[in-house]
Amino acid sequence: MLKIDAHQHFWIYDAVRDSWISDDMAVLRADFKPEQLLALLQQEHFDGSVVVQSDQSSAENIFQLKNAAGNDFVKGIVGWVELQAPDVEAQLSALQEYDKLKGFRHILQGEQDRALMLKPAFLNGISKLKQFGYTYDVLIFPDQLKYAAELVSKFPDQPFVLDHIAKPDIKNKNTGDWKRDIIALAQHENVYCKVSGMVTEANWQHWKTEDFEPYLDVVFEAFGPERLMYGSDWPVCLVAASYRQVVSLTEQYTLKLSADEQNMFWGGNAIKFYNL
């Protein structure tokens, strides 16, 4: 079984650029480099990872391409491109030379316009991805799930993956609207989902493994093991849990799956989705 951590980050900490890192997340005010992750991957017997952008700039692509070039375990990059730019097609074409660049992400969760993803310029950008073989990572909060369902319905041949199960309110044990909207989104077979980022939505100091079970039940029922992939969200997960703890809470849940389903979840789906 090939194991892939389908969602992690690297950065050299910059107080201005990384102003999203608040005082209560001070553990993240540090540099997080490939060699640090490699040690963790080896401990947990992972074969590789997918690094995901955390800064919305072309400099981020260059930085992550360097990380990937020097570290064979980085199997793919989810970068950033200005999808709303008039010349987005030319930008995508110019990036074709980088084999490890697999797709793109925009930090939609932070946008004041909650439905930015449905604006004509954004839709135009999304429409250009398929011809170049690029994927799209959907980073949103639960209030945006309904817009995401509309987005993916417009591009049935475009591969999308939902990051962090859309960040439900695990801390307060809310599933209501999130559950309904996840089920609706999962009806679209071009959409995968990352089982990642859950500990940061829980009570950072006092979470328990069973806090996550209702949310795991929903996504496994909605997407099935053939459209789910594991991601640690390292180093962001460190605000609430160690790398080992994040792996462990998902490991316990997936013991009930068949061997084939476990293979898909822990690596096969990421390899297929990102063409690793």
Q: Can you give the pLDDT at residue 221?
A: 97
DSSP 226: G
Q: Can you give the pLDDT at residue 176?
A: 86
CA-nearest of 181, 253, 244 to 212 is: 253
H helix count then E strand count, the chain = 10, 8
Give the residue numbers spanning the domain of 232. 4-274
**Does the reported pTM lie above 0.85?**
yes
Burial of 118 (0-12, 13-18, 19+ CB in 10 A): middle
Q: Distances in Å between the alpha carbon of 71 and those of 48, 144, 147?
A: 10, 35, 37
Extended strands (E) in the chain: 4-8, 48-52, 74-79, 101-106, 135-138, 160-162, 191-195, 228-230
DSSP string, 192-213: EEEE---GGGS-TTT--GGGGH
CB 119 within 8 A of CB 84: yes
Determine the Cα–Cα distance for residues 83 and 85; give it in Å rounded to an integer.
Answer: 6
Task: Tally the domains of the chain.
Answer: 1
Extended strands (E) in 74-222: 74-79, 101-106, 135-138, 160-162, 191-195
Write phi, then psi, for 77 (nearest 5 degrees): -125, 135
Angle, in degrees to the nearest 10, between helices 145-154 and 120-127? 50
pLDDT tens column, 52-81 = 999 999 999 999 999 999 999 999 999 999
CB 64 within 8 A of CB 88: no
Strand ranges of the sheet holding 48-52, from the earlier edge strand across to the other edge: 4-8, 48-52, 74-79, 101-106, 135-138, 160-162, 191-195, 228-230
Q: Which residues pair with 229 in a beta bridge?
A: 194
Burial of 141 (0-12, 13-18, 19+ CB in 10 A): middle
The CATH number linked to 259 is 3.20.20.140
pLDDT of the chain along its 276 residues, tens only? Answer: 899 999 999 999 999 999 999 999 999 999 999 999 999 999 999 999 999 999 999 999 999 999 999 999 999 999 999 999 999 999 999 999 999 999 999 999 999 999 999 999 999 999 999 999 999 999 999 999 999 999 999 999 999 999 999 999 999 999 989 999 999 999 999 999 999 999 999 999 999 999 999 999 999 999 999 999 999 999 999 999 999 999 999 999 999 999 999 999 999 999 999 999
One-letter amino acid at 69 equals A
